[in-house]
Amino acid sequence: MRRHPQKTHLMIFDFISQCSSNYRFDIKYRYLLSLSRKALVGEIEKGFPLLPSGCSISLDRLSSQVILKNVRQAIDNSFLNIVNELKTFPDDVNLSDFIYETQLTVEDIYRNNHYWSEYLYRAGKNITIASEEEKKVLKSFSRFTHIDDVEQINAYKSLVKPGVLSSDEDTNAKRKYTLMLATTLYGDEAAASPKETLKSKFMSSELLINEFLELLTVLEKNAYMSSAEWGHFKNVPLRIHCQYSLSEIFSAFGIIKNSHLYRAREGEYYHSPLHVNLIFMTCKKVEGDYSPSTMYKDYAISTEKIHWQSQNATKQQSKKGMRLIDHHKHGVAHLLFARSTRKDDRSETNPYVFLGEAECYEYNGERPINIVWRLRMPMSMHHFRMFSILD
C-alpha cells in the first residue's frame, strides 16, 4: 500500500473469515459509504454502484452472502431482542457500557418511541416505571441522538445540574442552550418561557435527568468528527461541521415569533438583525417528500463548492435575488446547512450539517437562480460523500 510516483492503482485484499455473529459489518460499511443500514443492503445486492469515480468494492458470491446475512441481522435489532440481550447484563449496567458491549448504536436504542429506561424495566432491572408524562418526554430523546457538538453536550450537562437554571447567572450562551433544550423536549411553544418550562417539567424528575445524562455521555463519546469555531457571530452557539436540527438552529439565533420558536418552511431564511441568510439544502430528495416545484438540484461539487437552486419565483434583479448574488455589496453573510436525505432509517427527521459561511462563486438563470457557493472552510470527504450526487 506504499505510495510511488509510477503507481496508479491501489488494490486491497480483505478476506472475509467466519467471524463472530456479534461482529458488525454494517458499522464499517456505513461509515465508509455514508449510508443507512437499509440503503446498505441494496448497495451490497447491486454491487456498490454509487461509489465515487475510480473506486470499486468487489465481493465474491460467498463473501456477499456472509456480509448480507450479517447486515440483515443487525437491522433486526427489535425491541424484544434488545430486552433479551439486556437480561444477560448485571443490574447496574449503564447505557454507554451496554452499547459498547453489544455494538449497538444509540439510534438502535431510541427507535420506534422506545428509550433506555423502558428496556431496563422490561429486562427486570431495578428501576422505577415512568409516569405517562415522563414517557412522553423520554420518547422525545430520539431527537437528541444526532448531537455531535461537544460544547452543546457540556452545556446541556451543566443546565440539568441542581440549581443552575435557578441561578442569577444569565449569559447569552446559557439562554440559547436553554431555549434549544426546552423546545426540543416540549415543542416550539416552550420558547415563551424555556427556563420555567425546564424547571417545572424536567428538573422535577430524577428519572428524566439520569437517562438524559447517560445519553449525553454516549453522544460525547461518539463525537468523533472534527469541528471548528464559527467566529463571525460570538452569540450564536453553532460549530462548523456539527449537526443541528432545525429547531436547534433557530434557537441558536433566538428567532421567536408570537411566543413560539419560529422555523422556516422554505430552504432560505433571511435573519435581518444579524444580516445573515440561512440556506438549507437536502441533497438527495425523494419525490414523495417534495412537490415537483421544490425538487431543487442541491449537491456538493467538491469539498469547497456546492450547487444550489433558489426558490422558483426568485429573479436575479429582485431584492432576494440581489441579496443572494451580490451579498458583499448588501453586507449579507450566507450560512449553509446541508443534509443528505429528509428522513433517517427510523423515519426521524434528519439534522443539518452546518457548513459555515459561503460566497457566491458563480450564478446563472433565474426562477430559479442556479448558484455555485464556495465555502470559506472546506467540508470533510465524509460530508462530501454524503452531499454529492453520484450517477
For the stretch 48-101, pLDDT in tens is 876 766 777 888 888 888 888 877 776 556 888 899 889 989 999 999 999 988
Question: Per-residue pLDDT for 3 more than 60?
Answer: no
Predicted confidence band at 289 (pLDDT cuts at 50, 70, 90)?
low
**Mean pLDDT across the stretch 186-203?**
96
**What are the domain boundaries of the chain?**
1-76, 80-222, 264-387
Residue 58's pLDDT is 82
Residue 87's pLDDT is 92
DSSP 3-state of 281: strand
Residue 16's pLDDT is 65
**Mean pLDDT across the stretch 259-268?**
91
Distance CA 136, CA 360 (A): 44
> In sequence order, which ranges of the chain are alpha helices (DSSP H)?
25-33, 37-46, 61-75, 79-86, 95-102, 106-109, 116-122, 132-139, 150-159, 172-186, 194-197, 206-222, 246-252, 319-325, 327-330, 381-387
Q: Where do we find the cell 441542581?
A: 162
Residue 300: closest CA among 283, 324, 319: 283
Bridge partners of residue 353, in order along the sequence? 243, 338
More confident residue, 80 or 4: 80
- Label residue 131 exposed, middle or buried (CB < 10 Å: 0-12, 13-18, 19+): exposed
Lowest mean pLDDT among 49-58, 123-132, 163-172, 235-244: 49-58
Question: Per-residue pLDDT for 291 more than 90?
Answer: no
Residue 293's pLDDT is 56
More confident residue, 158 or 58: 158
**Mean pLDDT across the stretch 25-40?**
71
Residue 333's pLDDT is 93
Would you state the cell numbers that stand for residue 190, as one nine-digit string?
Answer: 416552550
For the stretch 144-154, pLDDT in tens is 999 999 999 99
Residue 32's pLDDT is 74
Distance CA 383, CA 391 (A): 17
Lowest mean pLDDT among 41-45, 78-82, 117-121, 267-271: 41-45
Residue 69's pLDDT is 80
For the stretch 309-353, pLDDT in tens is 998 889 999 999 999 998 888 889 999 999 999 998 888 999 999
Residue 31's pLDDT is 67
Residue 15's pLDDT is 60
DSSP 3-state of 86: helix
Sequence-distant (≥ 6) Cβ neighbours of residue 8 within 8 angstroms: none
* Contact by Cβ (8 Å): 141, 215: yes
DSSP 3-state of 310: coil
The domain made up of 264-387 has a fold known as PUA domain-like (2.30.280)
pTM, to two decimals: 0.82
